[in-house]
Structure 1
Amino acid sequence: MIEIRNVQKAFGAVNVLKGIDLTIDKGELVCLIGASGSGKSTLLQCINGLENIQGGEIVVDGIPVHAASTNINQLRRKLGIVFQQYNAFPHLNAQENVALAPQVVAKLGKREALKLAQKHLEHVGLGGKALMMPSHLSGGQLQRLAIARALAMNPSYMLFDEVTSALDPELVGEVLATMRLLKSEGMTMVVVTHDIGFVRESADRVAFLHQGNIGEIGSAVQVIDHPSQEQTRKFMRRERRSEQAA
């Protein structure tokens, strides 16, 4: 499991996380929602060790992420992370993009790594796009390529940071379908998203972040449809107005 205990994070004088407590169990899909600047993406990056913390601790499968004794590169193999930006290497085709980390990090031979890459491309519905360059793929295909690249390291957990927010509406569905597939296979996932439909349909629990704190946590029905806190109700009203405007 992932255990987040009283985690505090500041950028200069700005306290972004003010004492976050959250446990994510194996096989669980937890969605983080909240306004921009509430600390959602920062929390994901702290879980992965991309950002240091000023207080508290994050423990993944019994290993403290930010301890000086922790081999963070080895621990990150447990924690696949997919960002809003695709970050594909433009000079490598799709298969080579996915095969790169298994070769460099896991020290697989090229033939074995390319075979593994093909397997994961097929898993996300890109089996026929293996030899295509990133410039010839759509945004949705590039995002699924990023998911395949993360899966190639055989992570125990997947972290998703607003992976559909930069996509055209008609491309969002194919990425969400891939995430639903991973959930059905038992992957533990932490998802930062504004897609309330996905949250309602797929989340086991929802954590609403407000000004660096968890303002409310519970099932999708509890947090989205029947929030108990006024700041959650205000946020949900804004989200519904945005959905209606779209």
Structure 2
Amino acid sequence: MIEIRNVRKSFGNHEVIKGVSLEVKKGEVLCLIGASGSGKSTMLQCINGLEPIQAGEILVDGISVHAKSTDLNLLRQKLGIVFQQYNAFPHLNALENVALAPRIVRKMRPKDALEIAREHLDYVGLSAQAEQYPTSLSGGQQQRLAIARALAMKPDYMLFDEVTSALDPELVGEVLDTIRKLRTNGMTMIMVTHDIAFARESADRVAFFDGGVICEIGDARQVITAPNKERTQQFLQRVLH
């Protein structure tokens, strides 16, 4: 599981995460919702060790992410992360993009890495685009390519940071369908999203971030349809109407 214990994170004098604690169990899907600047995306980056923390502890399967003794490169093989920017290598085709990390990080033979890449492109519905370069793919296809690239490292957990926010509305569905498929297959996921309907439908739990703290957390349908806290009610009324 992922355990977050009283984590604090600051940028200079500005504290963006103020003592957050939560646990995410294997097979669970947790959505982080809240206004921009509330600390959601920063929390994901702290979980993956991309940002240092000032206090507290984050454990992934019992391994302390920010301990000096932790091999972050090894630990990150457990944690796939997908951002709203696709970050594909433009000089490599889709197949080569997905095969790159297994070949370099996992030291796979090129033939085996390409086989893994084909498998994961098929998983996200991009088999027909294997030889295409990222610039010739639609936004939705590029985002699915990013998901395939993360999955090719065979992570135990997937972190998604606003993966549909940069897409045209008609392309959002194909990415969400891929995430639904991952959920059906039992992938543990933490997702930052502004898509409240998707969070209600697909998450086990929802955590509402406000001002760097978790204002409310609980069953996704309960929190979104009948929140207990007034601040959560105000936020949902604003984004749902």
Decide: shared fold, TM above 0.5.
Answer: yes
1:221 Cα offset (Å): 2.1
Counterpart in the other structure of 1:99? 99
1:220 Cα offset (Å): 1.6
Counterpart in the other structure of 1:222? 222
Runs of 4+ in 1 over 3 A off after TM superposition: none
Whole-angstrom CA distance in 2 between matches of 1:17 and 1:239: 22
1:111 Cα offset (Å): 1.1
Counterpart of 2:122 in structure 1: which amino acid? E
2:164/2:175 contact within 8 Å kept: yes
1:223 Cα offset (Å): 1.2
Counterpart of 2:111 in structure 1: which amino acid? R
Matched, 1:156 2:156: yes
1:157 Cα offset (Å): 0.0
Counterpart in the other structure of 1:184? 184
1:14 Cα offset (Å): 0.5
Q: Deviations over 1:32-75 (max 9, x none)?
A: 00000000000000000000000000000010000000000000
Counterpart in the other structure of 1:244? none
1:99 Cα offset (Å): 0.3
RMSD (CA atoms)? 0.5
Counterpart in the other structure of 1:137? 137
Counterpart of 1:140 in structure 2: which amino acid? G
Counterpart in the other structure of 2:36? 36
Q: Deviations over 1:117-171 (max 9, x none)?
A: 0000000000111000101100000000000000000000000000000000000
Counterpart of 1:172 in structure 2: which amino acid? V
Counterpart in the other structure of 2:211? 211
2:201/2:221 contact within 8 Å kept: no
Counterpart in the other structure of 1:83? 83
Counterpart of 2:19 in structure 1: which amino acid? G
Whole-angstrom CA distance in 2 between matches of 1:175 and 1:25: 24
Whole-angstrom CA distance in 1 between matches of 2:44 and 2:190: 8
Q: Deviations over 1:202-235 (max 9, x none)?
A: 1100000000000000112221111111110110
Q: Secondary structure at the match of 2:16?
A: strand
Counterpart of 2:90 in structure 1: which amino acid? P
Whole-angstrom CA distance in 2 between matches of 1:30 and 1:127: 29
Whole-angstrom CA distance in 2 between matches of 1:197 and 1:180: 13
- Number of corresponding residues: 241
Counterpart in the other structure of 1:10? 10
Counterpart in the other structure of 2:123? 123
Q: How high is the TM-score relative to the length of structure 1?
A: 0.97
Counterpart in the other structure of 2:51? 51
